[in-house]
Amino acid sequence: MARVGPDPETVALYAVVVAVASLGLGFGVGVYRARRRGGEDPSASGPERAGSGPRGSASTPEPGRDAESQAGDRLGQSPSVSGGREESESVAGSANQPPDSAPRAPDVRVDYDALTDEEPIGGGGNADVTKATLPTPEGNVTLAIKRPRMQGTLHADAVERMLDEAETWDKLDDHDYVVGVVDYGAEPLPWIAMEYMDAGHLGGRAGSLGFDQALWTAVAITKGVRHAHRRGVAHLDLKPANVLFREVAGAWDVPKVADWGLSKHLLEHSQSVEGLSPGYAAPEQFDRSYGTTDDITDIYQLGAVYYELFTGRPPFEGESTRVMRAVLDETPTPPSEVADVPSALDDVLLTALAKDKADRYDDIVYLRDDLQALFEGRRA
């Protein structure tokens, strides 16, 4: 489809949004393309499908665990926010293997008035996050508390947005790679109590992880997002700051997806650019001629996040309107020409980053499978 760039109204709209926001690997792709031609059912592909390919047959899910969470654990992880080590302080450590299990959120009821020792640890958009201590009979529990940012009067729509986010997030957090919601409420103002992620965010690790650890991290994140897709929810704001880590002794830290404030149910249709991070946004989030936002939008955003994870920089850099035009008009430099990574990774990431949705992976399971095949091929 020939395009000559975004229409003037889109550029103008995005400029306004930015101004407001400023204030406040070949083998795997071959497998994927064969699946597309053969019309294979994404819900039956990958490790979950008995006898599927080199990863063997699926086992019966353990009680209380999501099937994706268990059946996808073929890389050394098993069942298991926001983050400590503020900004880029997190380090990868010396471990060289996936964890045997992923830490989970504490199972407690939160008495909001009992929270103590609060300190700011992050924020963005219209919300702030603090680290807090919850006294319990079994001992103190550390949590992360998200609240809407107070700017004079708290409008009803801000209350509704945060409660909607809490309800959506709470339905998705029964997975190893989604930050857990511990509790939430509306009094004295909307709040979400989350699993405290003690090892920073992906932005502090981009380009610094060993290739195997970066691959495993990407597989884990993809599993978390796929879990949401299977529940009918697209994230739509995937970026390094929304991937947080929990520390695991003697193993690689566990990544989990956070911040579902811009997510939408896949039966809904919207085309808003409000609150986007331009460096990780998909073309259809800027220009409606590329289609509506949906689960395939998340695939593009994951491609952008993984590009930075492996190379240390996003696919396009510069001021916001320049990045927007590049997302619409330019092809990213292959990752292997930017960093010391195998050329086999190029096709995977560039397929995810295709401008037209029809040229991306048909389903996130294929992205997961290609990344996992690369990982397993190196660990064999």
For the range 36-44, what are the long-range contacts, defined as Cβ-Cβ under 8 Å and sequence gap of 24 or more?
Answer: 36/362, 36/366, 42/362, 42/363, 42/364, 42/365, 42/366, 43/230, 43/365
| Band (25; pLDDT cuts 50, 70, 90) | very low
Distance of alpha carbon 247 from its chain centroid, rounded?
Answer: 18
Distance between CA 181 and CA 178 in Å, rounded? 9
Residue 362 bears catalytic tag: no
- Check 237, 253, 346, 363 and give the catalytic one: 237
CATH code that applies to domain 200-378: 1.10.510.10
pLDDT at site 95: 73
Residue 74: CB partners within 8 Å, gap ≥ 6? 47, 55, 56, 372, 376
How far is CA 213 from each of CA 209, 217, 297, 343, rounded to the nearest angstrom? 6, 6, 25, 17
Per domain, the residue ranges of the chain are 112-195, 200-378
pLDDT at 325 over 70: yes
CB atoms within 10 A of CB 109: 9
- Assigned fold of 112-195: Phosphorylase Kinase; domain 1 (3.30.200)
pLDDT at site 160: 84
Taking only the tens place, the pLDDT of each residue in 264-302 is: 776 655 544 556 789 999 999 999 999 999 999 999 999
Taking only the tens place, the pLDDT of each residue in 139-193 is: 999 999 999 887 666 677 777 888 899 999 999 989 999 999 999 999 888 999 9
Distance of alpha carbon 25 from its chain centroid, rounded?
Answer: 21
**Higher-pLDDT residue of 81, 220:** 220
52-81 mean pLDDT: 37
